[in-house]
Amino acid sequence: MEEILRVILYSFFSGITVFLGGLLSKIFEKYFQDSSLKEEIIHASIAFGGGIIIAAVAFVLAPKGMEILPFTPMVILFLSGAIIFFLFDRYIEQKGGTISQLMAMLMDFIPEAIALGAVFAVDPDLGLLLAIFIGLQNLPESFNSYLDLRNSEYSSRKCLLILFLLSFTGVIAAVSGYFLLSNLQQLTASMMLFASGGILYLVFQDIAPMSKLQKSWFPALGANIGFLVGMIGQKILG
């Protein structure tokens, strides 16, 4: 019982940063006056979040899936993730909205939270480090997700409510991983590869183009810093 309580506690603190990132974004939106600096910060934040998401694919999601699954399922699942999220992205665009940041965050957050629960059953120390890494990832990603939702004409209150509710999906995912998937490595790996395909599509279709700012080269460095955060996390996790 003590171990599952730790899984719930760690996954809660790693997930609540989804809401905290949105709250920071609301404060930024309210108090930071319109200026070229504001635009640079927003675009750098988008690039930073994109760098972290790519690092999650490169160091956590894709390697774990490739390690466990045979060649053919690996290819099918990765391409399926890309194709399904291509179709979903087209549908959202036709409706006049864009929630690519939010989708990418969830496709990163939920499989990693499931992995957290599954890993915790075997190695609690590694589970703690993974929880810290996930929490740090969620901050810039949810910061950008709030702005993404606002651009789709959601009210500030509705944006924060969505992010608050989504912050608890990590607890559900981690507990599910702990009880259901710790012995089902192929299913966990399949989810990770599917998410990897969808994330890469979203990054290069939506997130990377949004990070570019005319006559400014600073935002692009944000992607490098974000990827470096992923490298550091991977080094710590071993």
Choose among 165, 226, 133: nearest CA to 22: 165
The separation between CA 100 and the C-alpha centre of its own chain, rounded to angstroms, equals 11
Blockwise average pLDDT, block size 10, the chain, 238 residues: 84 92 89 74 81 83 86 94 85 67 76 79 73 81 86 87 92 87 78 85 77 74 86 76
- Give the closest residue to 92 by CA, choosing from 180, 44, 152, 16: 152
Nearest to 150 by CA among 26, 4, 12: 26
The whole-number pLDDT of residue 238 equals 64
- Separation CA 131–CA 51 (nearest Å): 19
DSSP state of 178: I
Would you state the pLDDT for residue 162? 92
**Cβ atoms < 10 Å from Cβ of 146:** 27
pLDDT of residue 18: 92
Distance CA 44, CA 28 (A): 14
Domain with 133, as residue range(s), is: 2-26+34-237
- pLDDT at site 237: 67
How many CB atoms lie under 10 A from the CB of residue 96? 8
Q: Is 138:106 a contact under the CB 8 Å cutoff?
A: no
pLDDT at 171: 92
What is the residue whose two structure tokens read 């005319």?
Answer: 214
Q: For the chain, how many structural domains are there in total?
A: 1
